[in-house]
């Protein structure tokens, strides 16, 4: 029956459930543990901590490895298990429910000192898998530790989501000991009262920063890859990670579904190995479908992390021939001071474009971008065409959605960006066609890991004169791209229709 029956690991099944607190498949856990030195598994003094235990899968797989590695030191099975679970393997659960699940996975009993527990030496129900219900510390309606919204989370009947590990100034006091290895999959985000999805507040960075305070020998966590190019509250964290020469290995999934089946995380997912005592160059694996691209380089070559070596080569070629970049002509948020909720009016001296339809608006309601009103302009939707920065089934991205020419006396809401201003319609048309090239959109894609397009995503796009027209063939020649580099761009970016550029047909 064992050989012919399908009996899946329950933690593999659980990992397929989508949530902001993503459960890690055992296969991924073991890939992460493989990054650690193999001699750790035969050392009875090495201590391990999962500070964000959900299913207990990290601690379970660590225990299995130690059980095999310590056989010669502890020939007696029960003595060996007692030593591992009592002195080497520790966890902090993120909720009361996951504490029970974690203990069931590691101890085979939700009660650590119960009659069915694998360890016979625990004196309490929690064992080394602790959970303490914490409360947020409110200051100006936000938690001072995690930034949670008091309005959203200050309800007794709800789980507080005040995670133990990051809601303390002294995490070392939780177990009153030091740890050699810290591993885990932290919660990714929480509602800070300002949005959900990619606009919600990331908190995975807080767990990494807290773990570093414990000064372990090794640190490995699996987190969203959005930090590569920043994000809400992530700029300082990004720079610290990119400059940290102790990150020696980085495994990067451009599509999160290749790592977590069925879980769609904007911008992909990654895990890393931080080695306290061994600084140096980082070994990188970028995974797309069944293709693995390996490289060795420092992470801080640019202010954002660029996934692919070929992309880096292309960026270098662009930089050799460019003095300025398109980010200097792209507008900031709200180019005309009009929020997205503004709706068209029946009368007004300006034409207005909104995501809900077009109409009129009075110029006295425009509070910025006055110098743009009487010029030809190019309008670009702030929302990417790609869902959460993910590629389509063929592994390609379109990047931009709505790109159109705006004639003089036309404005738009904050749903759109304005790309430059021009004296003639021809120049605006040339910009539209340039934005639609695979070359331009590829350069944006190297830093666009979410659905929200900002001026900062154009930092690698050359600011070319729009007095002449541009197409991919001309751009490939200008920047001396090789056949391999051209093929790489072609494999990554979908074509766009060049036939419709203008909002109206007036000259």
Q: In this predicted model, what pLDDT tens digit does every residue of 396-455 receive, in sequence order?
A: 889 999 999 999 999 999 999 999 999 999 999 999 999 999 999 999 999 998 888 999
DSSP codes of every residue in 199-258: GSEE-HHHHHHHHHHT--SEEEEEEEGGGGG--TT-HHHHHHHHH-TTEEEEEEESSGGG
The pLDDT of residue 55 is 92
Beta bridge partners of 219: 182, 274
Other C-beta atoms closer than 10 Å to the C-beta of 127 total 26
Q: Is 329 helix (H, G, I), strand (E, B) or coil?
A: coil
For residues 380 and 403, the answer to whether their CB atoms sit within 8 Å is yes
The pLDDT of residue 467 is 95
Cα–Cα distances in angstroms (integers) from residue 28 to residues 156, 212, 251, 256, in the given order: 35, 22, 11, 12
- 3-state per-residue secondary structure call for 265-311: CCCCEEEEEEECCCCCCEEEEEEECCEEEEEEECCCCCCCCCCCHHH
Please tell me the pTM assigned to this model.
Answer: 0.86
The whole-angstrom separation of Cα 284 and Cα 303 is: 17
The whole-angstrom separation of Cα 24 and Cα 193 is: 27
The whole-angstrom separation of Cα 184 and Cα 211 is: 10
Task: Tell me the per-residue pLDDT of 59-71, one tens digit each, with 9 for 90 and over.
Answer: 999 999 999 999 9
What does the pLDDT profile of the chain (507 residues) look like in tens digits?
Answer: 234 444 455 555 444 443 446 789 999 999 999 999 999 999 999 999 999 999 999 999 999 999 999 999 999 999 999 999 999 999 999 989 999 999 999 999 999 999 999 999 999 999 999 999 999 999 999 999 999 888 888 775 557 889 999 999 999 999 999 999 999 999 998 876 655 444 578 999 999 999 999 999 999 999 999 999 877 788 899 999 999 999 999 999 988 888 988 888 888 999 999 999 999 999 999 998 878 989 999 999 998 999 888 999 999 999 999 999 999 999 988 999 999 999 998 899 999 999 888 999 999 999 999 999 999 999 999 988 876 566 777 778 899 999 999 999 999 999 999 999 999 999 999 999 999 999 999 999 999 988 889 999 999 999 999 999 999 999 999 999 999 999 999 999 999 876 655 444 333
* CA-wise closest residue to 216 among 228, 225, 207: 207
Roughly what angle, to the nearest 10 degrees, separates helices 57-69 and 77-87?
140
> Which backbone phi and psi does 393 adopt, to 5 degrees?
-65, -25
Q: What is the DSSP letter of 145?
A: T
The pLDDT of residue 288 is 85
| Domains parsed from the chain with CATH numbers | 10-307 (3.40.50.150), 314-492 (3.90.220)
The pLDDT of residue 232 is 75
């Amino acid at each position: 029956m064992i050989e012919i029956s399908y009996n899946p690991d329950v933690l593999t099944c659980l990992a397929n459930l989508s949530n902001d607190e993503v459960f890690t498949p055992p296969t991924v856990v073991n890939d992460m543990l493989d990054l650690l030195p193999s001699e750790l598994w035969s050392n009875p003094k090495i201590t391990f901590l999962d500070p964000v235990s959900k299913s207990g899968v990290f601690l379970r797989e660590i225990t299995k490895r130690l059980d095999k590695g310590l056989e010669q030191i502890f020939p007696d099975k029960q003595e060996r298990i007692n030593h591992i679970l009592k002195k080497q393997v520790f966890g902090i659960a993120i909720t009361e429910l996951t504490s029970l699940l974690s203990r069931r996975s590691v101890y085979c009993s939700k009660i650590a000192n119960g009659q069915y527990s694998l360890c016979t030496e625990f004196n309490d129900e929690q064992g080394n898998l602790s959970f303490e219900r914490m409360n947020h510390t409110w200051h100006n309606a936000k938690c001072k530790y995690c930034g949670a919204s008091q309005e959203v989370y200050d309800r007794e009947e709800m789980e507080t989501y005040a995670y133990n590990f990051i809601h303390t100034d002294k995490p070392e006091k939780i177990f009153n000991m030091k740890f050699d290895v810290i591993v885990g999959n932290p919660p990714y985000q929480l509602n800070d009262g300002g949005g959900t999805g990619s606009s919600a507040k990331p908190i995975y960075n807080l767990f990494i920063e807290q773990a570093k305070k414990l000064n372990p020998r090794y640190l490995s966590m699996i987190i969203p890859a959005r930090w590569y190019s920043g994000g809400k509250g992530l700029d300082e964290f990004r720079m610290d990670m990119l400059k940290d020469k102790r990150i020696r290995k980085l495994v990067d999934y451009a599509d999160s579904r290749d790592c977590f089946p069925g879980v769609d995380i904007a911008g992909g997912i990654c895990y890393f190995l931080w080695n306290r005592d061994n600084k140096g160059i980082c070994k990188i694996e970028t995974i797309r479908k069944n293709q693995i691209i390996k490289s060795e380089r420092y992470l801080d070559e640019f202010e954002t992390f660029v996934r692919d070596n070929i992309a880096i080569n292309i960026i270098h070629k662009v930089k050799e021939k460019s003095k300025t970049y398109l980010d200097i002509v792209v507008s900031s948020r709200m180019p005309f001071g009009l929020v997205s909720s503004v709706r068209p009016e029946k009368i007004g001296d300006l034409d207005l474009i909104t995501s809900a339809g077009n109409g009129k608006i009075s110029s006295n309601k425009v509070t910025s971008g006055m110098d743009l009103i009487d010029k030809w302009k190019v309008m670009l939707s702030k929302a990417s065409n790609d869902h959460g920065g993910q590629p389509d089934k063929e592994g390609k991205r379109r990047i931009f959605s709505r790109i159109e020419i705006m004639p003089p006396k036309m404005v738009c809401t904050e749903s759109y960006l304005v790309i430059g201003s021009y004296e003639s319609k021809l120049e605006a048309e040339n910009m539209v066609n340039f934005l639609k090239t695979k070359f331009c959109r590829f350069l944006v894609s190297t830093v666009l890991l979410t659905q929200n397009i900002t001026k900062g995503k154009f930092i690698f796009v050359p600011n070319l004169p729009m007095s002449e027209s541009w197409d991919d063939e001309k751009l490939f020649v200008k920047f001396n791209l090789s056949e391999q580099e051209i093929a790489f761009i072609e494999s990554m970016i979908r074509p766009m229709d060049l036939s419709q550029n203008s909002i109206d047909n007036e000259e």
